[in-house]
């Protein structure tokens, strides 16, 4: 069962990344920032879609920073809950995939993204959806929703017997989920900070094919927003 759940989760995560890439169009003069760039592999794929050469990233894991820098990414290491170490209006495009759910000061997070975006620039922000069908069914059973089982430094997968990380030890406390959003909540949240929501995509519709999440975005497992300053 756990193998099956991992497979459908990663199928949805793969489609979610394709949704992110599909928000991008050729712009070889773009300055790109990836918040939570990890090893830089996906960051580079975004730059390749844009055909741009100026790529920045933020990452806190030293080993991942080194891997990103090897790929030509200019990486900074700082806490995304505080002030971002960039000047006003520095970037054309900002990307954050599966990051906002880890941020305890999300007001600051959105405010800082807005500050460092150029006028007319846009951000692509993706996260898990509190209103996905699997989360709804888990809630009805009295279980911890799938998207909020990794919240403790002691163990992962707490409160849900089908969590794919159940019983595992957390690698980093920064990987814990702090809060989970749904579509309406996140849309109004972006608007509160001066963004215009231009487009929303969905991925994952457990246990059905992941593509259905782009039809019924309200109940998809991943939701991705393109928001414009």
Q: Rounded to 5 degrees, what are φ and ψ at 208? A: -80, 170
What are the extents of the domains in the chain? 2-228
Residue 171 predicted with pLDDT over 80: no
Residue 40 predicted with pLDDT over 80: yes
12-28 average pLDDT score: 96
135 close to 213: Cβ distance less than 8 angstroms: no
> How far apart (Å, rounded) are the C-alpha atoms in residues 7 and 104?
29
Q: How many CA atoms lie less than 13 Å away from 192 in the CB half-sphere?
A: 12
CA torsion angle 75 78 82 84 (round to 10): -20
Identify the pLDDT of residue 1: 67
- Which band of pLDDT confidence, cut at 50, 70 and 90, is reported for residue 2? low
- Which band of pLDDT confidence, cut at 50, 70 and 90, is reported for residue 8? confident
Q: Rounded to 5 degrees, what are φ and ψ at 105? A: -105, 70
Q: Ramachandran region of residue 10, left (φ > 0), alpha (ψ -120 to 50) or beta? A: alpha
Structural tokens at position 131: 């209103």
Cα 114 to Cα 56, 94, 206: the distances in Å are 16, 10, 33
Identify the pLDDT of residue 175: 80
Beta strands (DSSP E) in 99-211 are: 117-128, 196-203
Domain boundaries 2-228, corresponding CATH code:
3.40.50.150
Max alpha carbon distance in the chain (Å)? 51
The structure's pTM equals: 0.95
Residue 84 predicted with pLDDT over 80: yes
161-173 average pLDDT score: 84
Tens digits of residue pLDDT in 55-73: 999 999 999 999 999 999 9
Per the prediction, the chain carries an average pLDDT of: 95
């Amino acid at each position: 069962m756990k193998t099956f759940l991992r497979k459908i989760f990663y199928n949805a995560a793969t489609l979610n990344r394709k949704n992110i890439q599909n928000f991008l169009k050729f712009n070889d003069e773009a300055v790109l920032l990836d918040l939570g760039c990890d090893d830089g592999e996906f960051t580079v794929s975004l730059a390749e879609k844009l055909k741009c050469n100026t790529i920045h990233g933020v990452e806190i894991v030293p080993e991942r920073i080194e891997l990103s820098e090897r790929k030509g990414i200019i990486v900074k290491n700082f806490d995304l809950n505080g002030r971002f170490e960039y000047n006003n209006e520095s970037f054309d495009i900002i990307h954050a995939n599966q990051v906002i759910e880890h941020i305890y000061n999300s007001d600051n997070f959105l405010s800082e993204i807005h500050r460092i975006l150029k006028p007319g620039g846009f951000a692509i922000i993706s996260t898990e959806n509190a209103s996905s069908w699997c989360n709804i069914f888990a809630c009805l059973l009295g279980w911890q929703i799938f998207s909020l089982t990794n919240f403790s430094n002691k163990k992962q997968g707490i409160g849900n017997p089908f969590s794919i990380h159940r019983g595992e030890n957390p690698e980093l406390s920064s990987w814990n989920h702090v809060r989970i959003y749904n579509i309406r909540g996140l849309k109004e949240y972006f608007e509160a900070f001066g963004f215009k929501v231009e487009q929303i995509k969905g991925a994952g519709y457990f246990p059905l094919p992941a593509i259905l999440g782009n039809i019924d975005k309200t109940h998809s497992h991943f939701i991705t927003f393109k928001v414009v300053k």
